[in-house]
Amino acid sequence: MLHRNASDDALLDGLNAAGPIHLAEAHAVMERWGLDALVCAQPVNVFHALGHWPQIARTRIGQPAGTFAILSRRQIDRPVLVTSRFLHFYTYADGRGPVEAFLYDDLSDGEDLGQNGDFPLCPDRGLAPLSAMELHRFAISAAALRHRAAYRHAGGALVAALREMGAWGGRIGWDDPLIAGVLARHGHEGANIAADNAMREIRLIKSPLEIALMRRAARANVEALQAVAQGVRAGASYRDLHALFRAEAAARGNTAVFLNVDRSSSETSPHRIADGQALFLDAVSHFQNYHGDFARTVFVGEPTRAAARAADAAAFAWRAVREEIRPGLRFSDIVRIGQEALKRGGFDVQVGFGPHSCGLAHTDEPGEDAGGFWRKPDIELRPGMVISVDCPVLDSGLGGSAHCEDLVLITADGCETIHSSPPAVIVV
């Protein structure tokens, strides 16, 4: 079990050892869906299964996948990697021990399911001793190829993996229709279905490693927003705050995703802050693909009475909701509790209560089909979920904007905030 304040090295070692996926939840979801195997092609799902974000997915955005992870319901703790021999040597092997891998040489599919002979990658010229990294790469690559020669093309490697895992005749789920094409070309006789939603269902429940990664991401995200808040001044532009957030997130090892300034998340917004303005800052950044999400209201000098009252409303409503959050509640219950709290507190403002699961995306949850689009489902809270409840005031003409938001982990009997909880209002 990782310490709640695990070091970055410990977290990275955890990702090197195994994917962050909650294996018991993966097995349960696959049983519910009746799946014998899940083939992951989308980078986020490959990372979830293996702890490895495919490098080519960062350099060839939008192109067909070349690295895959396969989960078998029968052996859920033994995910399989399918990737090119070059990428296995050049990116996957770094820092890792041997893993069950089906390698290939050509990113294509065809009738020939055969295997190639070995040929050297980045051959050793022998002019100087190999570095520790080079030795490691050669050792991991050689171990994989001793166990199984590389296939001629990606389709052959995928088919071979599913056959060897005992899933070829079964019901296979996939997150990219590319996989359906491979299955059809090679005579798969079982059922196959689109199952990206199944993978999103798995991601709702966080493993201990995921919770530790979420704590780390959230802690740095909160600190970055607080630093930005201290830089708010009358006359500063919204662009200045965006640039400052990117720098402050990076200084803490996070990567900025977006900063919503006074209801505007556009980095090109030309507007400037005025003295006496109330504005909210809603910050999202990630550490190793796990996202922090945090919002507070900033007063620049003395706000209007209406803006101060709006900030009180957002904070009051969020406190009321947080006290009631527990397993068994649904997202719709959270909205109801928030609205009832506003009435009880005598607040005459509109607050847009927006619960959402957070993890490998700001909104990381399954959806309901709505004519090809996705409708937000009424998700039931369970222990191990990490959620946020957006509480922005929606009214205009108040003298600014207000918002209050934290990330909480659902526990057996309630919830706990996974980061520090600064005051709801920051005055500069």
Q: Is residue 367 in some structural domain?
A: yes
Q: What's residue 18's pLDDT?
A: 93
CA 346 to chain centre: 38
Asked whether the beta carbons of 102 and 151 are under 8 A apart, the reply is: yes
Residue 316 sits in the same domain as residue 378: yes
Q: What's residue 98's pLDDT?
A: 67
Distance CA 212, CA 419 (A): 11
Q: Domain boundary residue among 204, 222, 238? A: 204
CA 156 to chain centre: 30
Cβ neighbour number for residue 405 with a 10 Å cutoff: 20
Q: What's residue 216's pLDDT?
A: 98
Distance CA 156, CA 380 (A): 41
Q: What's residue 1's pLDDT?
A: 62
Q: Is residue 6 in some structural domain?
A: no
Q: What's residue 115's pLDDT?
A: 84
CA distances from 90 to 95, 127, 197 (A): 11, 20, 31
Q: Is residue 108 in some structural domain?
A: yes
Q: Is residue 10 in some structural domain?
A: no
What helix, strand, coil percent values describe the chain, rounded to 5?
A: 35, 20, 40
| CATH code of the domain in which 257 resides | 3.90.230.10
Unique residue bearing structure tokens 């296995």:
88
Residue 281 sits in the same domain as residue 305: yes
Residue 271 sits in the same domain as residue 159: no
Residue 246 sits in the same domain as residue 387: yes
Residue 174 sits in the same domain as residue 225: no
Q: What's residue 10's pLDDT?
A: 96
Residue 198 sits in the same domain as residue 231: no
DSSP string of 86-151?
A: HHIIIIISTT-----EEEEEES---S---BPPP--SS----SSPPPHHHHHHHHHHHHHHHHSPPE
Residue 198 sits in the same domain as residue 238: no
Q: Domain boundary residue among 204, 229, 264? A: 204
Residue 222 sits in the same domain as residue 348: yes
Query: Which structural domain range is residue 289 located in?
Result: 208-427
Provide the β-strand partners of residue 416: 409
- Would you write out the chain's pLDDT as a tens digit for each of its 428 residues? 677 789 999 999 999 999 999 999 999 999 999 999 999 999 999 999 999 999 888 888 889 999 999 999 999 999 999 999 999 999 998 878 667 999 999 999 988 888 886 677 888 999 999 999 999 999 988 888 888 999 999 999 999 999 999 999 999 999 999 999 999 999 999 999 999 999 999 999 999 999 999 999 999 999 999 999 999 999 999 999 999 999 999 999 999 999 999 999 899 999 999 999 999 999 999 999 999 999 999 999 999 999 999 999 999 999 999 999 999 999 999 999 999 999 999 999 999 999 999 999 999 999 999 998 999 999 999 999 999 999 999 999 999 999 999 999 999 999 999 999 999 999 99
Number of structural domains (the chain) is 2
Residue 235 sits in the same domain as residue 381: yes
Q: What is the pTM of this model?
A: 0.96
Residue 167 sits in the same domain as residue 97: yes
Residue 273 sits in the same domain as residue 360: yes
Distance CA 423, CA 416 (A): 17
Residue 252 structure tokens: 């803490």
